[in-house]
Amino acid sequence: MIRSSPGFAINPCLFLNSQKSVFLPVQIGSRRRNFSRIGSESGDGVAFDAVAYESERLSLDAAAMENMAETAKKELESDPESDPKAWKWVIRKKMWDLMEARNYAMRPRPVHHRIPNFVGAPAAAAKLAELDAFCKAMVVKVNPDSPQKQIRFLTLSGDKKLLTPQPRLRTGFFSVLESDLLKPEMISEACTSVGVAKYGRAIGLDEKIKVDLIVIGSVAVNPQTGARLGKGEGFAELEYGMLRYMGAIDDSTPVVTTVHDCQLVDDIPLEKLAIHDVPVDIICTPTRVIFTNTPIPKPQGIYWDKLSPEKLQQIRILRELKKRLEKKTGRKLPTGPSEKLPPTAERKRR
């Protein structure tokens, strides 16, 4: 069912109107941090070096970019019959090319191999902020990509907890940010990768937390079925699977994405989706809200037989979880076929 947001009743927890941003004041609780020396996530009092953190992050990204053109070319030229992922790359490239050609994206550019920072992302975030699922949520998990930055801002501005993954899960797992531990002027920075590392609290697999709403980015999404494609790295699926393992979410936890209207497609074949692909329940664009009533089953956890040794080696928290489960069950878990990891986005130097 597709419903245009003008037909919605005005919700008292609406954060934005169509003309300008109207942010709710942040409730500052009794718990406060000593911000004169930002400690590490373990609270050991070591000063946080934002410049060094960002430099290392960009360096790791640059290293991952080196095989971008080669990997993308091989995927696009491969036989769809022998490569079950080839069709996804065709749709992704078509969408990335379209958004570049029509200038539907903001920085960072080019949009290839990333979740596009689409024009109108704040307006789509405003639509999301009207949802009852968002207004009633106390803990919201939001992806760390640029187009969802406003959603992270609205989450922290609305006296909620923000759960966000650390970049590519390579330095850890998730971080939790709490609005009552942030001064209002800190919230904008807290929505960036540096701010998450600076102000967030790292959590592990044993954290007891209930996530009320999941927000994920998309490259393309089918409004009729809820089928979506990300940028091809599989982190949304891995994050979802680990949250299922933790008991933080279940089938009833709403999954929402925000996209440009041009990212709505009808050529994602349901029969070719993998068991670990995460469908979306709600789509918010700059112009409308779509309830998909998706028929696609949600993943029940990590599917180890689909997880390549390369991806496992890349993500420490996955190795920890695998080791834990093997110790608990007394048997070795399967491993998926080997793969060359997909490319990472190129960032133009300015």
CA distance 171 to 65: 18
Q: Reply yes or no on domain 119-291 having CATH 3.40.50.10420.
A: yes
CA distance 242 to 317: 9
Q: Please say if the pLDDT value at position 15 is more than 80.
A: no
Angle formed at CA 246 by CA 200 and CA 301, multiple of 5 degrees: 120
- CA neighbours within 13 Å on the CB side: how many for 348? 8
Q: Could you tell me the pTM of the whole model?
A: 0.81
SS3 88: helix
pLDDT (tens digit per residue) in 171-224: 679 999 999 999 999 999 999 999 999 999 999 999 999 999 999 999 999 999
Q: Do β-strands 220-221 and 174-178 pair in parallel, antiparallel, or remain unpaired? A: unpaired
Distant-in-sequence, close-in-space partners of 36: CB < 8 Å, separation ≥ 6: none
Distant-in-sequence, close-in-space partners of 146: CB < 8 Å, separation ≥ 6: 106, 107, 108, 115, 117, 121
Which comes out higher in pLDDT, residue 21 or 187?
A: 187
> By the 8 A CB rule, do 283 and 257 touch?
yes
Strands (E), the chain: 2-3, 139-142, 161-165, 174-178, 201-203, 213-216, 220-221, 228-229, 255-258, 282-284, 289-291
pLDDT (tens digit per residue) in 267-305: 999 999 999 999 999 999 999 999 999 999 999 999 999
pLDDT (tens digit per residue) in 211-268: 999 999 999 999 999 999 999 888 999 999 999 999 999 999 999 999 999 999 999 9
ω into 108 cis (within 30 of 0): yes
